[in-house]
Amino acid sequence: MGKALIAPSILSADFSAMGNAVKEIENCGADLVHCDVMDGVFVPNITFGIKMVKDIKPLTKLPLDVHLMIVEPERYLKQFIDAGADYLTVHYEACKRKVSDVLDEIRALGAKSAVSIKPDTPTEVLKDLIPHADMILLMSVYPGFGGQKFIENSIERLEEITKMIKESGLNVLLEIDGGVTEENAGKIIKAGANVLVAGSTVFKAQDKKATINNLKNA
Ligand code: DX5
Ligand code: ZN
């Protein structure tokens, strides 16, 4: 099965000490830094934007995995990529333009392209997008907040997407986001996820290194 990549979400870090949080997760074995950008319109919460991505970029060697939870993300692709996003995720539900075109543009701007769906969006919409995406991000909670409970039917949804990716014959990562714990990581990886976002699980842990390691090997 192989190890999963772990992407701690800095949404659960102390925003007044963000630099330290990023360095700490890198030292504890994280593989990516998951940055949750929220606009208060697409989701009922507001976090941070381009400047945060730009300011943390020089502090870490880890790739920045920027998850845009904003309406019309296509208006800001270049700004986030110039700021240092290595993976840029847009929501299927948020794009005004054709999602495949938005993903192609992310690649043309030099980043890895990713598309996310919310828990109520059918997985079938992803089928035609797979050739345009380097990663699929499945939301396993309603986006907006850290610390929510994993929605159980996400396991079946992961299996459906895993099947689609396999059938495409393409090399596409499958990331899960929301409610990932040391307890459920094993079945999530078994269902085909190979990138695990973990916010509260990592940032609440006494021993972040052990927790990241346990998630990776679940
Ligand atoms: C939720 C965000 C997630 C969140 C995950 O809208 O997209 O990345 O930070 O937090 P946990 O792991 O605590 O559910
Ligand atoms: Zn996220």
Identify the architecture of domain 5-216 in CATH: Alpha-Beta Barrel (3.20)
Amino acid at 63: P
Residue ranges per structural domain of the chain: 5-216
* Ligand number, closest to the Cα atom of 66: 2
36 labelled catalytic: yes
Its pTM stands at: 0.98
**Model pLDDT for residues 131-187, shown as the tens digit of each residue:** 999 999 999 999 999 999 999 999 999 999 999 999 999 999 999 999 999 999 999
- Burial of 161 from C-beta contacts in 10 A (0-12 / 13-18 / 19+): buried
14 labelled catalytic: no
pLDDT of residue 1: 52
Residues of the chain falling short of pLDDT 70 = 1-2
Active-site annotation holder among 31, 36, 39, 134 = 36
Q: Which atom of ligand 1 is nearest to the CA of 147?
A: 13
Q: Which residues line ligand 1 (CB under 6 A)?
A: 9, 11-12, 34, 36, 67, 141, 143-144, 146-148, 177-180, 197-201
